[in-house]
């Protein structure tokens, strides 16, 4: 059963400067709602009961967003504004499910995952990268179903332009299970076009087993001097762990770049 999700939130958000110079990118509004709330809604709707936020001291603002009870209580007492009451109830609903752990050095996604080791209770857990929004269809829910059927790890994926493979983790597959699902035989973090085994990119939804932690402990730094989850996943695949690439059917929005962030508001407004 997958009941826990982890969300790395300690990234610096440099691609969104100057918006992120004093503000956490995950709190930036997308069509009137902080990006992180879309991710939380996806988790909760997929049956997740505990969500672990990996933040840093610099991203304390994210914790404050969910712990601003005094402000809401005072305002509600004074004004009894139904909109504020509704918003506060929503924040409380989220807060009950969120736990915080810290990653104070930006050492990469792999390092962020390792910080959650002692909190993960079951064999499998979900990870969502907050830059990647998937709208219209709950990708996490579909991946959990797939995991139940095959007892495998799962990564969301989509086909990308061959010239952009160096932006993503790229995988090759050894077997097609059906039109949407593929057994992964190898994965490489942000390859050059000439080294890329395909143009199938990994998108920010992962179902991982807790076996990843012992590999992450020994994981050496990779591209850009960071510890990449992709490199540890590669080791697991080499050690015969079953990983499925799931070509999701929702609409993908990349909120981690400036053009993508601007576009996400326009797209969500149209939904």
Contact footprint for ligand G1P (CB under 6 A): 109, 129, 131-132, 168-169, 189, 201-204, 228, 230, 256
Is residue 4 a contact partner of residue 121, using CB atoms and an 8 Å limit? Answer: yes
Closest approach, Cβ 230 to ligand G1P, in A, equals 5
CA distance 215 to 246: 23
Q: Which residue has the tokens 């956490």?
A: 24
Number of alpha carbons in the 13 Å side-chain half-sphere of residue 233? 28
Between 88 and 187, CB nearer to ligand G1P: 187
| Residue with the CB atom nearest ligand G1P in the bound state | 169
Closest approach, Cβ 26 to ligand G1P, in A, equals 13
Between 42 and 132, CB nearer to ligand G1P: 132
CA neighbor of 197 nearest in space, from 219, 182, 213:
182
Three-class secondary structure of residue 176 per DSSP: strand
Closest approach, Cβ 255 to ligand G1P, in A, equals 10
Task: Kindly list the distances between the CA atom of residue 188 and the CA atoms of 149, 157, 203, 229, 250, in Å, as whole numbers in the listed order.
Answer: 26, 13, 13, 10, 24
CA distance 161 to 144: 27
Closest approach, Cβ 260 to ligand G1P, in A, equals 10
Closest approach, Cβ 71 to ligand G1P, in A, equals 33
Between 72 and 213, CB nearer to ligand G1P: 213
């Amino acid at each position: 059963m997958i009941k826990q999700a982890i969300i790395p939130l300690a990234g610096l958000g440099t691609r969104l400067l100057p918006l992120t110079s004093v503000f956490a990118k995950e709190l930036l509004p997308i069509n009137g709602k902080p990006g992180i709330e879309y991710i939380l809604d996806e988790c909760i709707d997929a049956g997740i009961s505990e969500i672990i936020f990996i933040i840093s001291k610099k991203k304390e603002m994210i914790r404050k967003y969910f712990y601003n009870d005094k402000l809401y209580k005072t305002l509600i007492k004074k004004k009894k504004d139904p909109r504020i009451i509704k918003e506060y109830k929503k924040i409380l609903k989220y807060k009950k499910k969120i736990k915080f752990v810290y990653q104070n050095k930006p050492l990469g996604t792999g390092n962020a995952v390792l910080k959650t080791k002692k909190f993960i209770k079951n064999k499998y857990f979900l990870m969502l990268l907050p830059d990647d929004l998937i709208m219209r269809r709950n990708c996490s829910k579909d991946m959990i179903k797939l995991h139940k059927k095959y007892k495998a790890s799962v990564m969301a994926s989509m086909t990308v332009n061959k010239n952009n493979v160096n932006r993503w983790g790229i995988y090759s597959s050894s077997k097609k299970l059906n039109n949407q699902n593929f057994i992964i035989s190898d994965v490489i973090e942000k390859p050059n076009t000439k080294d890329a085994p395909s143009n199938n990119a990994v998108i920010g939804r992962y179902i991982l087993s807790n076996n990843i932690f012992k590999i992450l402990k020994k994981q050496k730094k990779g591209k850009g001097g960071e510890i990449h989850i992709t490199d540890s996943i590669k080791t697991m695949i080499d050690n015969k762990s079953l990983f499925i690439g799931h070509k999701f059917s929702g609409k993908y929005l990349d909120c981690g770049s400036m053009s993508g962030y601007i576009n996400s508001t326009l797209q969500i407004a149209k939904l």
